[in-house]
Amino acid sequence: MSPRTTQRPQRVRAAEPGTGQPSDFVRPKTAHQAVAEAVRRDISSGRFPPGSWIVQENLVEMYGVSRIPIREALKTLEAEEHVTYVPHSGYRVAQLSLEELQEVFRLRAILEEVLIRDGMPQVTDEIVEQMREQMAEMDRAAAVEDLVAVGVANRRFHFLSFEASRMARTKRIVTQLYDTADAYRPLYAHLMDLTKVNTEHVLLTDAMANRDVERAVALNQQHRAHAIDNLTEALTQEQAESTS
């Protein structure tokens, strides 16, 4: 499916001619922006795992665009450190060490706490209900062993915990950190205790419903610590197997 049919356009407030009053104007994404978003999604879902090569001809066929937006998109993704360029060979998905990934999670811990604290006064019952809906979506995906869908719903759930924050720049940074870490989620998914994950999600949602910011922050930190433990175990095992 072409990414141009799946990406959300940007909505800009423009002035009505002769009135000075703003009106809704939809500015479509450029082809290279759409491709960049599609590749980010495929990296975070595990379709393009860390260290794998990005073959431009394959992207042309997959996304139904020419090579020019593909090249522009890859340059954008290189600047964002999602991919790296190897001279005379091409692009490959960035591969991080365990120490680098632990740093990513530490940064998320710091920034998500800031966002949750900033957003809690604006949390609505609708946001809480959406969090419960994402928990139900995770249950449905887990029932059919669709780990990609589990990951998507999990990410939406956590983003809802700071949805009400007004700190747009910080949200963008956190989004990039999630993109980086989600590429490794398939590596440790088999170690996840989904029953424990669901229990922690219920507790976090209850804290949000009660507008209990201290408990929400503490539960979020605890929840992330378990993910770090699973990632550390998986990468340590992988490194041991590669050197044996």
Give the separation between CA 62 and CA 126, rounded to whole angstroms: 37
Give the mean pLDDT of the chain: 85
Predicted local distance difference test score (pLDDT) of residue 30:
87
Predicted local distance difference test score (pLDDT) of residue 147:
78
Predicted local distance difference test score (pLDDT) of residue 27:
57
Q: Which amino acid is at 72?
A: E
pLDDT tens digits along 212-236? 999 999 999 999 988 888 888 888 8
The answer, yes or no, to whether residue 6 has pLDDT greater than 60, is no
Give the separation between CA 25 and CA 13, rounded to whole angstroms: 6
List the one residue out of 182, 128, 124, 118 whose CA is nearest residue 154. 182
pLDDT tens digits along 67-94? 999 999 999 999 988 899 999 899 999 8
CA dihedral 198, 201, 202, 205 (to 10 degrees): -160
Q: Which CATH class is domain 25-93?
A: mainly alpha
Q: Which residues contact 94 (CB under 8 A, 6 or more apart)?
A: 50, 81, 82, 83, 84, 180
What phi and psi, each to the nearest 5 degrees, are found at residue 66? -80, 175
Predicted local distance difference test score (pLDDT) of residue 17:
44
Which residues belong to CATH 1.10.10.10 in the chain?
A: 25-93
**Chain Cα centroid distance, residue 238:** 23
Q: What is the mean pLDDT of residues 156-185?
A: 92
Tokens 């954008």 belong to residue: 76
pLDDT tens digits along 16-70? 444 444 445 445 578 889 999 889 888 877 788 889 999 999 999 999 999 999 9
Q: Buried b / exposed e across 100-109, counting CB within 10 Å, b at 16+?
A: ebeebbebbe
Q: Are 193 and 95 in contact (CB under 8 A)?
A: no
Predicted local distance difference test score (pLDDT) of residue 244:
65
Rg (CA), the chain: 20
Predicted local distance difference test score (pLDDT) of residue 15:
45
Residue 78 tokens read as 């290189």
List the one residue out of 197, 175, 185, 192 whose CA is nearest residue 108. 175
Percent helix, percent strand, percent coil in the chain, to nearest 5 = 70, 10, 25
pTM, two decimal places: 0.76
Which residues belong to CATH 1.20.120.530 in the chain?
A: 98-243
Query: What percent of the chain shows pLDDT beyond 70?
Result: 88
CATH homologous superfamily for the domain 98-243: GntR ligand-binding domain-like (1.20.120.530)
Q: Which amino acid is at 22?
A: P
